[in-house]
Chains A and B, each alone.
Chain A
Amino acid sequence: MYTLAIILVMAAGAYLFSRQRAWALAGGRSSALHSRPSYHGWHAALLSGGPAILLVILWFLFAHSIVGAIVSAGLPEAVRSEPSGALQFFMQDVRRLATGLPLGREASPEALDAAAAYARAMLAGNWVFGIVGVLLAGWLGWLAYRKVDPQFRARNRVERWTDYLLLSAAAVSVLITAGIVFSVLFESLRFFSMVSPLEFFFGLNWSPQTAIRADQVGSSGSFGAVPLITGTLLITCIAIFVAGPIGIMSAIWLSQYAPRRVRDVAKPLMEILAGIPTVVYGFFAALTVAPFIRRVGEALGLNVASESALAAGLVMGIMIIPFVSSLSDDAIKAVPTALRDGSYGLGATKAETIQRVILPAALPGIIAGFLLAVSRAIGETMIVVMAAGLAANLTINPFAAVTTVTVQIVTLLVGDQEFDSAKTLAAFALGLFLFAITLVLNIVALYILNRFRERYD
């Protein structure tokens, strides 16, 4: 942290000195320079600060992995020969000890030694990289300072570098996607080396058992994801049944019938529904809707689980109303006025025009909106975590408790975990599945939208 601050100060100094020198060389007339003095300053600041800061940040990011590797290579033979799970566990302890966090139990002498080595290596690394960074900043800053000259094309250089900086910022989004794909894919492949994909995608039984030790007998539960997928689909279907009609009808009314004043009030109000955090919907589903449905069900003589799919689905439906509504609204607005006027000209009423002309013309956009809403519902987590069940029941009865993909990811990963067990890795396999499904839905929706747009432009 201090290193970064020192380098930043040095870069600022390089900026000031170089600008000063440029002024001095120009004799106070900026027309004598190719580039304005502040560009000479920026040139020096970027040259001195950029590479040094990059170096220090890279060290911060990977220090933990590098030092960990060094320390574990230097461990006594007895510790190193242990199974990889135990070794990982050991290294976790070492890290905690090295950073001064309480372990909560007696530490073994090997762990204490390794922790001391870890802390030493970390400190040495911090010093080495800190000093190298500062020296690098100073050297490059000096070089840039020497380069200041009325003929020097500082602006062009600074602009080229800025261009690269902007490009790398844009590339970060690709890095994120790559990060998602690799982190999820990598762990999923490890999972599929333990559990066959056939069982995962077609197995009807889901019960990831909690194993206390990785090498325990019978620690591998059954990982058939079908009940999770049907559960997710059931809740999503209920949500779409709620949000679809309400969303489309309100979009129609707001765009075609509502007086301007009412629309100006009602539209933002409906948008609020999209801005409410999902945990609030979870609260609503678990504490208000679920007991209500249970009471109503009991009054009707039905057997309703207290964590019924219906409650979670209904509330999720409320949540996605604004998505359906605003996307349908866009689609309806995109229908050319000529079609509408033609229909009125033939004597059709407003409702007939909407039903027979506007809706068919807007259909691709509405379907795309539905697909986006479905992908939103499938990936939704908090409502189902709080209001849907944990038991993986294979059923389509909306009054029964079902579980979903997201609920299982949360239950598998919350709390203490071991990074090697099939149980933890299963969460990543489910995550990969979720990512793939939502990706496909989004791509299809975008494709439909693009086709639709081309028709009238």
Chain B
Amino acid sequence: MTDLVSNGGRFAAITQRPPRPEAVVAAHTRRRYARERRFKLIGMGAVILAIGLLAILLATVLSSGAGAFRQSYAVLDVRLDPAKIDPSGNRDPEVLADADYQAVLNDALVSAFPDMDDRQGRRALRAMLSAGSAIQLRQMVLDDPALIGSTVPVRFLLDDERDQYLKGEVDPGIPEANRRLKDRDIALIDRLAEQGRIETGFNWTLFTNADSREPEQAGLRAALVGSFWMMLICFFLSVPVGVAAAVYLEEFAPKNRWIDLIEVNVNNLAAVPSIVFGLLGLAIFLNLFGVPRSASLAGGLTLALMTLPVIIVVTRAALRSIPPSIRAAALGIGASPLQVVFHHVLPLALPGILTGTIIGMARALGETAPLLMIGMVAFIANVPSGPLDPATALPVQVFLWSDSPERAFTERMAAAIIVLLGFLIAMNVIAVLLRKKFERTW
């Protein structure tokens, strides 16, 4: 109580002075009230500033990422010339697979722009479409060889720079030398639009494709699948062990030095920087246990170690909130200590444990740094088919795209963040709803 005495002394000093004229006292009071108001305003300002910064952050992400959910396509009438695709006419799949689809595509482009039929013109036309367009044609023919010989309208992905231009992200006012998209390309795109050959639609590629060097073909599939495996492994490892550890520490542990050590240890683990867990994963899982590099298994194991202390802490809090009378009543009718916990306390604590678990998993889902340590930053162009395949995770994909200079990758990076935040928000909403639904006061 020393604080009160010293502060009280200060007030006492004021009252001991000889009485002053009332105006002076009133002025003094006014000053004190003004200070009070100022202090209050500063506090409110701090809260507004913090929430404002959050708003700016979210607005930046949304505004830079929204565009990536739309993609422009060029619709061209492609004549699938039998002479070019299948000269022999016997529909041999190997011949069909080896045919020169780039030539077919070139014909379609030139027939749309007959005046561009020279070397340079053709190159400009080819650059307009995504680099994978010829492969798309090949796949189409292989899927349905009956199309050969007919003329079909085909939707091609537009190249990323042209897509950005159509979204208004490229300013034609900048000097041509400072642009990746030259005047000639812009004119071409404008003509394509005039012909009504440009469509925009939802960017499904973002969810159906894995990563790619071409921004318009890059997607999140590999990251989503990788994150899914990691969350699965993380959940099935960290939750049983974490809950068991928490039950032991909260309900059964004797009071001794070893248990104290474990408790201090859990608290400290919860505060260890995540990157250190990455070093642990690298040294133990990769180098000692021989888990393949970049595999979701390694990521899931590392994240499980990181999530474990979180699960222990939240489970202990949930167990502590169960009143002792429940335990006493169960013990009183002859349950063994273990039956008390498993038949009575744990079921009652389950909603709390679940809520905490979801929040812990949400944290693991957003974690990036430890995954960098175990080689999950590889360029993954194939969708992983199991937990041992090289994979990447949603936040790591964000990090990977941040290294690419193309504007379209920046846009996709923000879109990946939106997807990631979407998952996190969904998980947190579920946690809040669970808590609301099962909340009970004892």
Contact = CB atoms under 8 A, between A and B. Distances in A.
Interface of A: 61-65, 68, 95, 99, 101, 155, 159, 162-163, 165-167, 169-174, 176-177, 179-180, 183-184, 186-187, 245-250, 252-254, 256-258, 266, 269-270, 272-273, 275-284, 286-288, 318, 321, 325, 339, 342-343, 346-352, 354-357, 360-361, 372, 375-376, 378-382, 385-386, 406, 409-410, 413-414, 419, 427-428, 431, 434-435, 438-439, 442-443, 446
A383 B60 CA distance: 16
Contact of B273 (A179, A248, A378): A378
B368 interface: yes
Contacts of B261: 174
Nearest to A358: B3
B287 A155 contact: no
A246 B46 contact: yes
B36 A351 contact: yes
B382 to A, nearest CB: 13
Interface stretch (B50-58, B163-171, B201-209): B50-58
A61 B265 contact: no
A63 B284 CA distance: 14
B421 interface: yes
Interface stretch (B87-95, B178-186, B246-254, B322-330): B246-254
A169 B245 contact: yes
Given A253-B46, A280-B57, A275 B280 contact: no
A179 B410 contact: no
Interface string B402-414: 1000000010011
A431 B276 contact: yes
A435 B272 contact: yes
B256 interface: no
A280 B11 contact: no
Contact of B305 (A65, A176, A280): A176
A179 B292 contact: no
Q: How large is the interface on B (under 10, 10 to 19, 20 to 34, 35 or more residues)?
A: 35 or more
Nearest to A346: B11
Nearest to A335: B3
Contacts of A187: 283
Contact of B377 (A177, A409, A414, A446): A414
Interface stretch (B37-45, B124-132, B141-149, B434-442): B37-45
9 contacts: A163-B338, A173-B262, A183-B284, A187-B283, A252-B43, A269-B51, A283-B417, A287-B410, A379-B272
A interface secondary structure, majority? helix
B51 A280 contact: no
A348 B11 contact: yes
Given A282-B402, A356-B10, A434-B275, A170 B245 contact: yes
Nearest to B51: A269
Nearest to B244: A169
A279 B117 CA distance: 47
Nearest to A424: B282
Contact of B245 (A173, A372, A379): A173
A250 B52 CA distance: 13
A350 B50 CA distance: 23
A63 B32 CA distance: 75
Contacts of A177: 265, 268-269
A379 B305 contact: no
A183 B245 contact: no
A349 B399 contact: no
B422 interface: no
Given A155-B336, A354-B39, A356-B7, A65 B245 contact: no
B279 interface: yes
Given A277-B395, A287-B64, A357-B7, A172 B308 contact: yes
